[in-house]
Chains A and B, each alone.
Chain A
Amino acid sequence: MVAVLQRQKLRDFDWLIALLAIAIVCFGAWEIRNAQPTETFWQKQLIGLGIALVAMVAIAFSDYRRLVDLAPVLYAFGLVLLVIVLIPGIGLKINGQRCWIRLPGLLGQFQPSEFVKIPVVLMLAKYFGKHRSSILSWKEFFIGCIILGLPIVLILLEPDVGQSLTYLPLLAIVLFLSSVRMWIVGVVLASCILAAPLAYTIGVKTGLLHGYKLERINVILDPENADKRGFGYHTWQSMVTVGDGGLLGSRNSEFSQSSLKFLPEPHTDFIFAVTAETTGFIGCLLLLASYAVLLTRLITDARRSRDRTGMLVIMAIVGGLIFQIFINVGMALGFLPVIGVPLPLMSAGLSSVLATFIAIGFAISVQLRRFVN
């Protein structure tokens, strides 16, 4: 019986998602090597992939409903980690941000804010996963905000604005799929689109928006004429690197923008620019297409989910991924401000890879159990 189940499971296992994710990480590792040929980041990334695969398979073959039941415990544990990382001595401070916990041995360090997304997703799925028959209530909305708010506040204390931003789409997707009225969604979206330029104009006129905040926004509005050595440096160099790639990638592979260190953080935040320089427009399109296939497949899995909880888990993960992809690539292409958000599956970083594969493991777990009662 067990053998039959296992055989069936192997047949139902979502090979496409798993293999696509592995392929993207391998591609990413190659680009990391292009970005930092003299460093060992790419090897670490492959080791990270191995660890992540184990975690993914473990999660995939366990019942996500059990884990959702455990959500409050995991959530509480996550909050504890986020508190611990703030303690000097345990939390490692890099570039003014205390968001790392040092691990013994080869593992190096890990970033709790990457992992805490999982319990947050599970917690949201648990709370909003009940059978619905009515529209979203205010009470539900506030509880959702609290579930999301606690980790965000702790992450802002690190302070890591970029990482905390990646939590927002988790709630947004869950609310959207929990019968929030369409017209409210419309109004919120419309007011956001209208408010941004209005806020900018008012901010500049009243002087509330000034200093480096204004500079960062101006860089995005007009990168050509921004201070290319100061605030605009990252954005400008990233645009140059991307443009240098052309259709099929830069001819000058030995002395690339990243190997000459013109492009900052080439193996993490700006890995997409490195990809653009080495593989050109074609390579970038293929990567974006891979993301599109991966996300579409995840949505399909969500649609086939046996229950609301599973659907919400997958969709929250989808929301988190597309948001990170959009922010990161938009930053590399010079039309979004520079925010330290990694590109899922591509950027070097054990925490990010591991967290993403755990998320994918949940998605696979959900789709594996679509026929099971």
Chain B
Amino acid sequence: MKFVDDSQNLRLRLRIIQGLILVMLSALAVRLYVLQIVNGARYAEIAENQRIRLLPIPAPRGVIFDRNGHVLVDSRPIYSIILSREDTEAKKGFDRYSLIKPLSAALKIDGEILRERFDQVKNQPAFESIPIKEEAEPGDIAWVDAHQLEFPALRVEQTPQRRYPANGMLCHALGYVGEISPEQVKQQEYRDKGYKPGDIIGQDGVEAVYDGYLRGRDGYRKVIVDSRGHIQTEVERVEPQSGQDIVITIDFDLQQAAEEQLRKSPQGRGVVIAMDPNNGEILAFASAPTFDPNLFSQRITTKEGRAEYQKLLTDPDRPLLNRAIQGRYPPGSTWKPLMATAGLQQGAISIDDSNLVCGGGITIGNKFTRCMGGNHGSPDVHTAIEKSCDAYFYRLGLKMKLEGIQAMVDEFDLDKRTGIDLPHEIISTTPSRELKAKLYPSDPDWKDIDTVYSSFGQGEDVLTPIALLRAHSAIGMRGKMYVPHFLKEVRGIAAVGNDSTRSDYRPARPARVFDRIEPKDLRIPREQSDVVVKAMWSVVNEAGTATGIKLVGFDIAGKTGTAQVVSLGKEGSEHRDHSWFVSYAPAFKPEISCLALIENAGLGSRFGAPSVRAVYDVYYAKTRPAKETPANNIAMKIR
């Protein structure tokens, strides 16, 4: 100390200050030690995690082909115009909203929608670009190209999008894809399959059932982002593996014919199904009215799309309903060949003695129930089917009793799901004491009159069209009853990646064909089935109820049905009878079976049968060589 200071020990005070400084710096050093040495690895990991992002590269979904290699559903790249936020936000003071006016005018988009989208992305990281226009047209893309200098942040981006056939073709069988719902994500069943939020999955139809094959394995880009989400660089890239293509049993041409018939029908509502009875392959599967599955894969996220979906939900014609497996209809007279087959099997009638009285009707108690076809005298089973004699089957039903009818139902699996490879198939309702008691609590006992109604398809029994077609196909196949199905084969896909030990290696997925379930054998004696098949052949080819659709050279065997709608008595077209026709052809060596149900149209012979014929026409043209013209056949027949 150079100067004299009498005040309190200055030297000590300076020492105190110096000591304090060293203590403070040491405290900082200790804290540094804790952060960097003790917990350093943890913080390094946190830092790593916040700069690394995995951006998925969506894998293309498998294509769905028809049996002849015709593309039904594919994922085509669509072009969307997007606004890259990387560029717009790099410039300070850039007002995104100033783009609304020029863009909405040039690209013909609603300015309000743009504003909504701009509002939405405010809190999202910057690598998320803003969609401006999906499904951009060539003109839009050209405009963007031409205005690159003016709007450098506009980009044209390619994204895979599921494309379904036009006019809702085959929509109920194909189903659709959509984003996995929050409820689905929570379900164990979906978790086990490795689905995660945001995944696009098959939500209905074949898309849902075979999602495991169709779905690819997404790849990803590992990128480094800054705090606002701008991508700095790509660290790693794992290529996606496409989904497997599948071939379904549908025949495009038959499908078109089937849908054409429904479109032309009086109400535009109904079902046409064609199947190969030899193996259960579905050849055509039409339910009308249809909906556009593209709504779910493309437009559901937009305001307009949601409105469209609401409209589908509230439409009284219920386009979303898959009538073939979810509609239940009284079978009417199409019930009769099944009854006849079971009657013969059970011994209620025999081939030699199958005559039962028609008498124009039957009196049960004090109530007379008439035969709709007039008085057929005392027909045999052939005539009863050919002429569709109701009273014959009243008496057959009474002979078989409810138990006999139930045995028939059980034989043809009418009280079970057919097992078709579509979700949400419902079970038909068939006659039983329990059903009667449930439906009519005031008159719960099963009576003879109930047996009568149940024996000609006008009881409380209501069937799904697919179950009815399957049963009739089994008659044509002489007792071999197959499970209807869509899948024909699944194509293989190669592995992605070279090193199978790496976690990003995607092994090859092998091709496979449909594992067909063994058919159910109904054990119908040949002579008995001959009787029923011949009768069904006569319906079309001799003096039956559907001779109008006779196709020379192609023996159609079938049965018409006219099912009364429950709310009888009301007038108006929407309460007309449902028109049925169930058939297989050629009658004695079936290749195809076909069913038509035209809702609220009227007589089966007038609407159902011609629809089926239209499908057969297409099938005939496809399968019979041109030289084998109908004229030749006629000549042979006459001889």
Contacts and interface: CB of A to CB of B under 8 A. Distances in A.
Contact of B32 (A261, A281, A303, A318): A281
Interface stretch (B42-50, B277-285, B332-340, B343-351): B42-50
Contact of B47 (A240, A302, A329): A240
A285 B51 contact: no
Query: Interface size bucket, B side?
Result: 35 or more
A135 B47 CA distance: 55
- Which one of B22, B35, B48 has the highest number of Cβ atoms from chain A below 10 Å of its Cβ? B35
Interface stretch (A14-22, A101-109, A241-249): A241-249
A260 B232 contact: yes
A295 interface: yes
A308 B46 CA distance: 52
Contacts of B48: 252
B236 to A, nearest CB: 14
29 contacts: A133-B7, A179-B8, A181-B8, A240-B46, A242-B35, A242-B43, A244-B43, A245-B40, A246-B44, A250-B44, A250-B47, A255-B233, A259-B226, A260-B51, A262-B227, A281-B36, A284-B36, A285-B32, A292-B22, A295-B21, A306-B2, A307-B2, A307-B3, A311-B3, A315-B17, A318-B21, A325-B24, A330-B28, A333-B28
B105 interface: no
Given A252-B48, A288-B28, 12 more contacts: A132-B6, A133-B6, A243-B39, A250-B44, A250-B47, A285-B32, A288-B29, A302-B14, A307-B3, A311-B3, A315-B17, A333-B32
Given A176-B13, A261-B227, A329 B28 contact: yes
A239 interface: yes
Nearest to B22: A292
A311 B18 CA distance: 14
Interface in B145-193: none
Interface string B206-235: 000000000000000000111110001100
A240 B43 contact: yes
Contact of B25 (A257, A292, A319): A292
A243 B43 contact: yes
A326 B564 CA distance: 93
B1 interface: yes
Contacts of A319: 17
Contacts of A178: 7
Nearest to A260: B226
A315 B14 contact: yes
B24 A326 contact: yes
A4 interface: no
B40 A247 contact: yes
A302 B24 CA distance: 20
Interface in A162-188: 173, 176-179, 181-182
A113 interface: no
Contacts of A329: 28
A252 B226 CA distance: 14
A70 to B, nearest CB: 22
A349 interface: no
Contacts of A252: 47-48
Contacts of A325: 24-25
A306 B13 CA distance: 17
B44 A255 contact: no
A329 B27 CA distance: 10
Interface string A198-227: 000000000000000000000000000000
Query: Interface size bucket, A side?
Result: 35 or more
B10 interface: yes
B37 interface: yes
Interface string A301-325: 0111111100100010011001001
B527 to A, nearest CB: 83
Interface in A250-293: 250, 252, 255, 257, 259-262, 276, 280-281, 284-285, 288, 291-292
Nearest to B32: A284
A261 B7 contact: no
A65 to B, nearest CB: 13
A325 B48 CA distance: 29
Contact of B18 (A285, A299, A370): A299
Interface of A is mostly: helix
Contacts of B228: 261
B1 A247 contact: no
A231 interface: no
Contact of A305 (B2, B24, B41, B44): B2
A273 to B, nearest CB: 10
Contacts of B233: 255
A189 to B, nearest CB: 10
A261 B35 contact: no
A181 B8 CA distance: 8
A183 B395 CA distance: 121
Interface string A328-367: 0110011100000000000000000000000000000000
A43 interface: no
Given A246-B44, A260-B232, A299 B17 contact: yes
A119 B35 CA distance: 39
A296 interface: yes
B33 interface: yes
B36 A306 contact: no
A127 B7 CA distance: 16
A177 B36 contact: no
A311 B1 CA distance: 10
A360 to B, nearest CB: 16
A307 B1 CA distance: 9
B37 to A, nearest CB: 6
Given A245-B36, A281-B36, A260 B227 contact: yes
Given A243-B43, A261-B228, A335-B31, A322 B21 contact: yes
Given A243-B35, A318-B17, A262 B50 contact: yes
Contacts of A260: 51, 224-227, 232
- Which one of B1, B36, B39 has the highest number of Cβ atoms from chain A below 10 Å of its Cβ? B36
A299 B22 CA distance: 12
A301 B41 CA distance: 42
A45 to B, nearest CB: 23
Contacts of B4: 131
Nearest to B4: A131
B122 interface: no
B71 to A, nearest CB: 45
- Which one of B24, B37, B48, B233 has the highest number of Cβ atoms from chain A below 10 Å of its Cβ? B24
B9 to A, nearest CB: 9
A95 interface: no
A261 B110 CA distance: 36
B5 interface: yes
B482 to A, nearest CB: 61
Nearest to A181: B8
B11 interface: yes
Contacts of B51: 255, 260, 262
B224 A177 contact: no
Contacts of A255: 51, 224, 232-233
B25 A177 contact: no
Contact of B36 (A280, A311, A370): A280
Contact of A177 (B10, B37, B44, B225): B10
Contacts of B50: 240, 262
A182 B40 contact: no
Contacts of A40: none
A288 B2 contact: no
Contacts of A191: none
Contacts of B29: 284-285, 288
A276 B43 contact: no
Contacts of B31: 330, 333, 335
B37 A257 contact: no
Interface string B392-432: 00000000000000000000000000000000000000000
Nearest to A321: B21
Contacts of A291: 25
A306 B46 CA distance: 54
B154 to A, nearest CB: 25
